[in-house]
């Protein structure tokens, strides 16, 4: 179907709902892999199965917010090391929210969309006067100049999307949390090409469930498990016949890890993976047979949440665990002092720190709502599943929405952002895009959007090439970054023009005899404390460690050397 509908050279958008259109992506790759790269592709993030498009060489230009691996940890993938130099494709980098705002403008046929994001970031530099225009804010004065940015609309020719169900008229049902939601589909000029778990008779979908009207859909095909290896959540409406025998399925983590490793590997490893999962299966039905019915059934079964572990021995803590516990303490302190009502959890050690802090605050009857950028609100994580965007967490969330509501509406309102960083400098600027040698890291994701409108804490294991005096690229402006937490303490800054000061100290468990000045000079390019000695942090407690280890029983984020895969080229 995809090959028949899409001419070479067209502009395709891949809808970044929680359920990516992977069956359609594979079909696209099979059809065009032996031709010169011709397609412009926009997508919020390229990872796991979407690497197949890059390995097949079908992308001429990519408009993205992220490229790399997001499981088991967010990290660079060697496949994209040189995209800042135009290899293997030309790239246009955006933050997650501004990419969606451009689609919103395109969907509503507006000349642009006003945003709080991008200002103060190096991402804006090559876009000024082209796709980004800067204007004085309405409340700007000579004494207090303020600016707003307007981003230009995005109108793909076609959008590929995977829905829960569709009917014979093409009406589609999506389900929350929905990531980008309907915007990519509604912005498409020539229409939507969709797959879904089931095609149902005309008129059988209740009007209130229709997300995308059939007038936008020019082609629809049935593809069970069409989002695999990503997940899909079925609406909890068992009384409706249209949902009968359909069930939620979860992320196939093993498959995603294999795809990420193949993309980062040698050429023969790439070819082997592509042959096995993309080219040998000629149809989606063939692909599902290769995946195996037993594996698919397993993905449709919800595991029981793990119980809280027995009390853990605080003497066995490692550097990464100590860092996360210090970050949780910092979050708790800021919530109590400044009255934040929500936490925006960035993926990585940051979200484990948010989960830990929320549980500790709950013990004091203080409620803070943990949110994620793809649409989870007031999340209570399912114990044992450490992936931030797991559908298991939907069952423990008070609200489920989308990127626009979370990043655009809730983050600017009494929210504390908690994020990681590939680089952070002593003014709080964060880099997750370019190394000192011009190699690509991962992109902004939602980080720029969070730091643009919310006070922030950065959680990052200190190494000298990460805690730098000046970042190589400003992905997120540091004006609202209040604190940086690492494995041996906390650095704070009270005002935007101030440098970080080292205020809280505890010896790293890997070297308990280390002194304050030695730690700062060994692990950072920042200044050690000058006159006022830092406050001594108490050792992690059994309670803190028990909560942390119960949240991450497989020790994905709390291993001793929890760092980004080596930065490309460094």
3-state SS class at 533: coil
Is pLDDT at 4 greater than 80 in this prediction?
Answer: no
pLDDT for position 139: 86
DSSP-derived secondary structure letter, 119? T
pLDDT for position 48: 95
Nearest of 223, 198, 338, 335 to residue 287 by alpha carbon: 223
Locate 354 and state its tokens: 């948010």
Q: Is the dihedral of CA 375, 251, 432, 99 positive or negative?
A: negative
What is the tens place of the pLDDT at every residue in 535-562?
A: 999 999 999 999 999 999 988 888 754 4
pTM: 0.95
Is pLDDT at 565 greater than 50 in this prediction?
Answer: no
d(CA 30, CA 21): 15
Locate 121 and state its tokens: 């970031």
d(CA 404, CA 409): 7
What is the tens place of the pLDDT at every residue in 64-79?
A: 999 999 988 889 999 9
Mean pLDDT of 446-460: 98
Instruction: Please answer whether residues 32 and 58 qualify as being in contact, where contact means their C-beta atoms are separated by less than 8 angstroms.
Output: yes
Nearest of 379, 454, 465 to residue 421 by alpha carbon: 465
Which phi and psi angles does 468 have, rounded to 5°?
A: -110, 170
Is pLDDT at 22 greater than 90 in this prediction?
Answer: yes
Instruction: Please answer whether residues 358 and 351 qualify as being in contact, where contact means their C-beta atoms are separated by less than 8 angstroms.
Output: no
Mean pLDDT of 194-214: 96
Nearest of 228, 368, 220 to residue 298 by alpha carbon: 228
Locate 380 and state its tokens: 């209570």
d(CA 392, CA 4): 37
Q: Return the HEC string of 463-508.
A: CCCCEECCCCCCCECHHHEEEEEECCEEEECCCCCCCCEEEEECCC
* 134 φψ region: left (φ > 0), alpha (ψ -120 to 50), beta (else): beta
Neighbours of 205 (CB within 10 A): 21
Locate 349 and state its tokens: 């050690």
3-state SS class at 233: coil
Burial class (CB in 10 A: 0-12, 13-18, 19+), 331: buried
Is pLDDT at 514 greater than 50 in this prediction?
Answer: yes
Which phi and psi angles does 392 have, rounded to 5°?
A: -60, -30
R_g of the chain computed on alpha carbons: 23
Strands annotated E in 76-146: 90-93, 113-115, 132-136
Is pLDDT at 448 greater than 90 in this prediction?
Answer: yes
Burial class (CB in 10 A: 0-12, 13-18, 19+), 430: buried
Nearest of 566, 547, 507, 504 to residue 529 by alpha carbon: 504
Confidence of residue 1 (pLDDT cuts 50, 70, 90): low
Is pLDDT at 568 greater than 60 in this prediction?
Answer: no
What is the tens place of the pLDDT at every residue in 463-491?
A: 999 999 999 999 999 999 999 999 999 99
d(CA 242, CA 452): 43
Is pLDDT at 37 greater than 80 in this prediction?
Answer: no
Instruction: Give the CA-trace dihedral at 126, 127, 130, 134, to 10 degrees.
Output: -130
Low-confidence winner among 73-82, 352-361, 435-444, 554-563 (lowest mean pLDDT): 554-563
pLDDT for position 238: 59
Q: How many CA atoms lie within 13 A of 532 on its CB side?
A: 6
Greatest Cα-to-Cα distance within the chain, rounded to the nearest angstrom: 75
pLDDT for position 342: 98
Sheet holding 423-425, edge to edge: 430-431, 423-425, 467-468
Locate 55 and state its tokens: 């390995």
d(CA 486, CA 420): 10
DSSP-derived secondary structure letter, 133? E
Locate 160 and state its tokens: 């590929």
Mean pLDDT of 300-310: 88
Ordered by where they begin, the domains of the chain are 2-97+155-235 (3.40.1080.10), 111-151 (no CATH), 314-551 (3.40.1080.10)
Confidence of residue 137 (pLDDT cuts 50, 70, 90): confident
The mean pLDDT value of the chain amounts to: 94
Higher pLDDT, 340 or 139: 340
Percentage of residues of the chain with pLDDT beyond 90: 86
Residue with tokens 């707003």: 148
What is the tens place of the pLDDT at every residue in 376-414?
A: 999 999 998 999 999 999 999 999 999 999 999 999 999
CA 513 to chain centre: 38
């Amino acid at each position: 179907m995809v090959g028949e509908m899409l001419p070479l050279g067209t502009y395709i958008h891949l809808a970044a709902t929680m359920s990516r259109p992977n069956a359609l992506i594979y079909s696209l790759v099979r059809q065009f892999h032996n031709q010169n790269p011709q397609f412009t592709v926009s997508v919020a993030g390229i990872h796991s199965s979407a690497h197949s498009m890059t390995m097949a060489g079908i992308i001429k230009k990519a408009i993205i917010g992220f490229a790399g691996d997001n499981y088991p940890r967010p990290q660079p993938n060697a496949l994209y090391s040189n995209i800042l130099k135009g290899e293997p494709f030309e790239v246009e980098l955006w933050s997650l929210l501004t990419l969606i705002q451009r689609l919103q403008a395109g969907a509503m046929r507006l000349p642009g969309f006003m945003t709080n994001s991008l200002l103060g970031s190096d991402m804006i530099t090559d876009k000024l006067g082209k796709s980004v225009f800067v204007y004085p804010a309405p409340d700007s004065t000579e004494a207090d100049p303020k600016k707003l940015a307007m981003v230009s609309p995005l109108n793909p020719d076609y959008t590929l999307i995977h829905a829960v169900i569709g009917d014979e008229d093409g009406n589609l049902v999506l389900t929350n949390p929905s990531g980008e939601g309907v915007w990519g589909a509604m912005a498409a000029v020539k229409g939507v090409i969709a797959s879904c778990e089931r095609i149902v008779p005309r008129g059988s979908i209740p009007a209130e469930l229709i997300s995308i009207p059939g007038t936008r859909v020019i082609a629809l095909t049935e593809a069970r498990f069409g989002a695999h290896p990503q997940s899909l959540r079925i609406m909890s409406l068992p009384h409706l016949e249209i949902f009968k025998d359909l069930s939620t399925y979860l992320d196939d983590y093993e498959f995603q890890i294999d795809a990420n490793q193949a993309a980062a590997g040698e050429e023969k490893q790439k070819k082997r993976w592509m042959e096995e999962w993309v080219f040998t299966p000629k149809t989606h039905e063939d692909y599902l047979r290769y995946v195996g019915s037993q594996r698919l059934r397993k993905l449709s079964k919800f595991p029981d949440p793990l119980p809280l572990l027995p009390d853990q021995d605080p003497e066995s803590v490692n550097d990464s665990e100590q860092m996360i516990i210090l970050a949780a303490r910092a979050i708790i302190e800021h919530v109590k002092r400044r009255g934040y009502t929500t936490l925006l959890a960035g993926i990585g050690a940051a979200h484990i720190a948010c989960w830990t802090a929320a549980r500790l605050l709950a013990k004091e009857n203080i409620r803070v709502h943990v949110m994620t950028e793809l649409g989870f609100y007031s999340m209570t994580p399912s114990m044992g599943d450490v992936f931030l965007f797991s559908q298991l967490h939907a069952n423990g969330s008070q609200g489920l929405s989308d990127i626009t509501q979370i990043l655009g509406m809730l983050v600017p309102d009494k929210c504390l952002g908690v994020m990681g960083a590939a680089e952070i400098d002593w003014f709080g600027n964060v880099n997750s895009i370019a190394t000192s040698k011009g190699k690509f890291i991962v992109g902004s994701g939602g980080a720029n959007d969070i730091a643009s409108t919310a006070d922030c804490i950065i959680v990052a294991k200190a190494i000298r090439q990460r805690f730098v005096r000046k970042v190589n690229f400003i992905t997120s402006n540091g004006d609202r970054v209040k604190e940086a937490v690492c494995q041996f303490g906390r650095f704070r800054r009270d005002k935007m023009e101030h440098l970080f000061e080292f205020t809280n100290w505890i010896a790293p468990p890997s070297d308990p005899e280390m002194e304050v000045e030695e730690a700062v000079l060994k692990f950072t390019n920042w200044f050690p404390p000058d006159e006022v000695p830092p406050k001594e942090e108490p050792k992690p407690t059994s309670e803190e460690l028990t909560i942390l280890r119960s949240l991450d029983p497989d020790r994905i984020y709390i291993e001793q050397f929890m760092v980004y895969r080596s930065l490309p080229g460094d």
